[in-house]
């Protein structure tokens, strides 16, 4: 699992990385994390149909193709997402 955050225009990159790590630490996230390298066009966000300012859960198959995504997932979606992840891993 990976989380990607967007870079805020005009803010120092090191400061943004520290803020991202701090936020992820508060929620107990221990996976890979990074910032979209394209500050101006948010290419990574656009590639995965994510919206800046909200959470988007994306499942990719082994070929890197989007097989499912959900805007603003909630706790009740966890079981469904786990099932989809298992299916994607089998393919």
Per residue in 14-38, pLDDT tens? 888 888 888 888 888 877 787 887 8
Averaged pLDDT, 70-85: 78
pTM for the whole structure: 0.57
CA dihedral 83, 88, 90, 91 (to 10 degrees): 150
What's the CA gap between 85 and 89, in Å, rounded?
6
- The count of C-alpha atoms lying within 13 angstroms of the C-alpha of 91, restricted to the half-sphere facing its C-beta, is 15
- Quick one: residue 28, left, alpha or beta (phi over 0 = left, psi -120 to 50 = alpha)? left
**pLDDT at residue 2, as a whole number:** 67
* Residues whose CB is less than 8 angstroms from the CB of residue 75 and which lie 6 or more positions away in sequence, other chains included: none
**pLDDT at residue 1, as a whole number:** 61
Radius of gyration, CA atoms only, the chain: 14
């Amino acid at each position: 699992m990976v989380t990607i955050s967007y870079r805020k225009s005009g803010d120092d990159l090191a400061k943004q990385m520290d803020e991202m790590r701090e936020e992820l630490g508060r929620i107990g996230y221990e996976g890979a994390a990074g910032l979209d390298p394209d500050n101006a066009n948010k290419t990574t966000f656009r590639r995965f149909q994510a919206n800046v300012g909200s959470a988007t859960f994306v499942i990719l198959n082994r070929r890197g193709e989007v097989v499912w995504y959900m805007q603003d997932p909630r706790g009740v979606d966890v079981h469904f997402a786990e099932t989809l992840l298992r299916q994607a891993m089998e393919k």
